């Protein structure tokens, strides 16, 4: 059990003590990466004494879509997953920032990599988690020597465990080279995304971000950032982005559940803009943090209160 784990976990159809949520080494998904997962955050608002889960219905829908893409053998609706998650948070009496990991995996003790004809199960655990990457000081990045896999190799819109081998290789390469994070190019050589986050650049006041065919995961934070940016009056263009545009961007930032909104100060040792957080990123980041904590009435419908 992780040190920052909450005491209870949803496992094999019920809420159990986290130390009892264990699988066999013979579990199918453990061999083949044949599971799909979600990463969801909840933010505790002290003033309102409530925990708000960010875009819970959207995350649950994406998870069910992931099972559909992969043909995982489980019958579960997004609404049922929402109920499991809210029940679990209440059972844990969670009153701080949380990270939720729902995981639907081939749970049978069987050999042979496949999705059909293997029983799948859902588990959900919760961790106490604040920042995953530094959101304040600027990240150093490198374009990875590993290419982001294409949709017809491993479906990019499914958050499938096996696909994270790609992320792990890129992340380790970046960190071993003294950088904080990696940036993937797609099979055509265009910019895709970070190892576990989407990417935006700002050029002359206009925001640009890669499209779904650039092999990105369709981030729920990305969708939220696009909405926030448009509401602020910025033009947001989803298009192919060339590698060299990264170097001459005025601003560059990542978005994702883990990373939240984090700005990048360096790509391949080229300083982005003047090496400080840019005005567009700063504005979007501040609205994002107010939104997730339930401090911006405009986006309250993105939050599910736990209590």
Catalytic (active-site) positions = 159
Return the beta strands (E) in the chain as ranges: 8-11, 14-17, 35-37, 40-45, 50-54, 98-106, 120-128, 139-143, 181-185, 191-194, 198-203, 206-209, 236-238, 251-256, 260-267, 270-271, 303-305
Write the binding mask 55 to 94 for ligand PMP: x where contact by CB under 6 A, - elsewhere: ----------------------------------------
Write the binding mask 93 to 132 for ligand PMP: x where contact by CB under 6 A, - elsewhere: ----------------------------------------
- Compute the residue count for the chain: 307
Any residues with CB less than 8 A from the CB of 87 and at least 6 apart, and which? 10, 15
Write the binding mask 160 to 189 for ligand PMP: x where contact by CB under 6 A, - elsewhere: -------x----------------------
Identify the residue among 257, 260, 291, 304 touching ligand PMP (CB under 6 A): 257
220 binds ligand PMP (CB under 6 A): yes
Cβ count within 10 A of residue 32? 18
Q: How far is the CB of 236 from ligand PMP (least distance, A)?
A: 15
Q: How far is the CB of 233 from ligand PMP (least distance, A)?
A: 23
Write the binding mask 12 to 41 for ligand PMP: x where contact by CB under 6 A, - elsewhere: ---------------------------x--
d(CA 177, CA 220): 30
144 binds ligand PMP (CB under 6 A): no
d(CA 44, CA 132): 17
Comparing CB distances to ligand PMP, the nearer of 180 and 197 is 197
Identify the residue among 121, 186, 193, 266 touching ligand PMP (CB under 6 A): 193
What letters, b where the CB count within 10 A reaches 16 and e where it falls short, cover 258-297? bbbbbbbbbbeeeebbeeebbebbeebbebbeebbbbbbe
Q: How far is the CB of 200 from ligand PMP (least distance, A)?
A: 12
Binding region for ligand PMP (CB under 6 A)? 39, 167, 193, 196-198, 217, 219-222, 255-257
């Amino acid at each position: 059990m992780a040190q920052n784990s909450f005491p209870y976990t949803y496992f094999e159809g019920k809420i159990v003590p986290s130390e009892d949520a264990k699988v066999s080494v013979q579990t199918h998904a453990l061999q083949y990466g044949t599971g799909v997962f979600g990463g969801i955050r909840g933010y505790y608002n002290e003033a309102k004494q409530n925990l708000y889960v960010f875009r819970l219905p959207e995350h649950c829908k994406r998870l069910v879509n992931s099972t559909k893409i992969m043909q995982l053998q489980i019958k579960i609706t997004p609404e049922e997953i929402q109920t499991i998650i809210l029940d679990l948070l209440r059972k844990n009496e969670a009153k701080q920032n949380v990270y939720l990991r729902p995981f639907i995996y081939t749970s049978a003790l069987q050999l042979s990599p496949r999705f059909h004809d293997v029983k799948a199960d859902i588990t959900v655990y919760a961790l106490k988690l604040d920042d995953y990457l530094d959101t304040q000081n600027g990240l150093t990045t490198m374009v990875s020597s590993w290419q982001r896999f294409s949709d017809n190799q491993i479906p990019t819109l499914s958050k499938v465990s096996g696909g994270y081998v790609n992320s792990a290789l890129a992340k380790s390469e970046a960190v071993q080279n003294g950088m904080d994070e990696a940036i993937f190019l797609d099979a055509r050589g265009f910019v895709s995304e970070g190892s576990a986050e989407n990417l935006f650049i700002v050029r002359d006041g206009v925001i640009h971000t890669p499209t779904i065919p650039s092999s990105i995961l369709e981030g729920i934070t990305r969708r939220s950032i696009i909405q926030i940016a448009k509401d602020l009056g910025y033009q947001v263009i989803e298009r192919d982005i060339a590698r060299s545009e990264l170097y001459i961007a005025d601003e560059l930032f990542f978005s994702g559940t883990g990373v939240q909104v984090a700005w990048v100060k360096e790509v391949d040792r080229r300083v982005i803009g003047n090496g400080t957080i840019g005005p567009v990123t700063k504005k979007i980041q501040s609205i994002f943090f107010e939104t997730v904590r339930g401090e911006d009435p405009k986006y309250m419908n993105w939050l599910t209160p736990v209590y």
